[in-house]
Amino acid sequence: MRTVAVVGASLAGLSAARSLRKQGYDGRLVVIGDELHRPYDRPPLSKEFLAGTFGEAELALETDDEDLQAEWLLGVRATRLEYAQRAVRLADGREVPADGVVIATGAAARTLPGSEGLAGVHTLRTLDDARALRDELARGGRLVVIGGGFIGAEVASTAYALGLEVTVVEAAPTPLAGPLGETMGAVVSALHADHGVRLLCGVGVKGLSGETRVDAVLLEDGRSIPADIVVVGVGARPCVEWLEGSGLVLDNGVKCGADGRTSLAGVVAVGDCANWYDPRAGLHRRVEHWTGARERPDAAVATLLAGGAVEPGVPRPPYFWSDQYGVKIQFAGHAAGADSVTIEAGAADERDVLAVYRRAGDPVAVLGMNQPRLFMRWRKQLAATAS
């Protein structure tokens, strides 16, 4: 391969570029990103950066002396993969010829229909999103977070620490039931009530009110929640529209194997847009976690450089963490499919707990709340079992 294009300049794209050089690729390397910013760390955006304790320099993912000898095309969006011509077309009319392509275009925050152009309504996915939201939170007032997932919960926690009046609205009966299961989802989401944050569950949002700026969130049960600021945290969609018609199989992202290979030779996918095959579960999963974006590009790049002639290994169980109200939450594995959850240490009502998820007696996931040492021991055991 004389030229490899990495489409996406966040953590997964940077990790892929690093892997290419680490694995001996010395050809032309082009990194394409639709944001103007160099690669930056996203997890602090909802926590330290939003709180004002982290500056932008501390978000940088590249080291001061790092030089990947890459061409960085930033602030320009990829609009089409011209597979037959082996090229990536850009929004400014340019085409980047490429013998190999790494797709790392990530995911975009879902929005609330009808909220376009209404001041005070935010999503949180990018550095620019975080800048705008941080400026608003600094003024104080009433914040309504729509969506009780991890991003929404972290924003609520940060805003509470800043002194805002916070309400979280979650359509599901139990927040975080998807990733954590109902039992432990209820334990973790109880952190809101512990700190005086209002949590409304089992009710959807009908819309927003306000002429030029939001002034309330309207619920489907007829209630109206006054709001000076609204954060919409209702998930993300994979950024794969630009791949329509390319020949790639798209299904909740780019459908690929356990090694990142796609339906097209010379094209691999990594990060939040990749719907990887999980050999343990026998199905495809799109895992939107920091560790996956950092670790899995190694396998995808090995596949790309070898032309697919490598045996895919079994990836480590997915891992993510969250910091809410001073509590460190860590999770590894998959809660779905577990038939039991047992508390191995601590107490759920004190939010200091280590819980193990099992299926037919075998551990498949582990959750820790302020239990980092025990959690890491169980995480290693899960990884050993998986391999």
User: Which tens digits make up the pLDDT trace of 68-82?
Assistant: 999 999 999 999 999
21-41 exposure pattern, b = at least 16 Cβ within 10 A, e = fewer: eeeebeebbbbbbbbebebbb
pLDDT tens track for 371-383: 999 999 999 999 8
One-letter amino acid for residue 343 of the chain: I
Q: How high is the pLDDT of residue 324?
A: 97
Q: Residue 312 above 80 pLDDT?
A: no
pLDDT tens track for 316-375: 888 999 999 999 999 999 998 899 999 999 999 999 999 999 999 999 999 999 999 999
- For the residues 228-236, what does the mean pLDDT come to? 96
Determine how β-strand 78-82 pairs with β-strand 216-219.
unpaired
Q: How high is the pLDDT of residue 117?
A: 87
Q: How high is the pLDDT of residue 282?
A: 84
CA distances from residue 330 to 67, 229, 280, 314 in whole angstroms, order as listed = 33, 29, 21, 21
Alpha helices, DSSP H, located in 34-126: 48-51
pLDDT tens track for 235-286: 999 999 999 999 999 999 999 999 999 999 999 999 999 999 988 778 899 9
Which of 348, 380, 345, 346 has the alpha carbon at shortest distance from 363?
Answer: 380
Are 41 and 15 a contacting pair, CB within 8 Å? no
H or E stretch at 359 = strand 352-359
Cα separation, 217 vs 197, whole angstroms: 16
- DSSP string computed for 142-194: EEEEE--SHHHHHHHHHHHHTT-EEEEEESSSSTTHHHHHHHHHHHHHHHHHH
> Which DSSP letter does residue 110 get?
-
Q: How high is the pLDDT of residue 165?
A: 98
Q: Residue 314 above 80 pLDDT?
A: no
* Share of residues in the chain with pLDDT > 90 (%): 90
Cα separation, 122 vs 124, whole angstroms: 7
Name the band, by pLDDT with cuts 50, 70 and 90, for residue 309: low
Q: How high is the pLDDT of residue 59?
A: 97
Are 165 and 144 a contacting pair, CB within 8 Å? no
Q: Which residues pair with 238 in a beta bridge?
A: 107
CA distances from residue 189 to 161, 169, 341, 368, 385 in whole angstroms, order as listed = 17, 12, 17, 14, 30
Determine how β-strand 236-238 pairs with β-strand 107-109.
antiparallel
Are 243 and 77 a contacting pair, CB within 8 Å? no
pTM as predicted: 0.94
pLDDT tens track for 142-180: 999 999 999 999 999 999 999 999 999 999 999 999 999
pLDDT tens track for 29-69: 999 999 999 999 999 999 999 999 999 999 999 999 999 99
Write out the two tokens for 209: 């009110």
Q: How high is the pLDDT of residue 342?
A: 96
Which of 188, 171, 9 has the alpha carbon at shortest distance from 105?
Answer: 9
Q: How high is the pLDDT of residue 65?
A: 92
Name the band, by pLDDT with cuts 50, 70 and 90, for residue 387: low
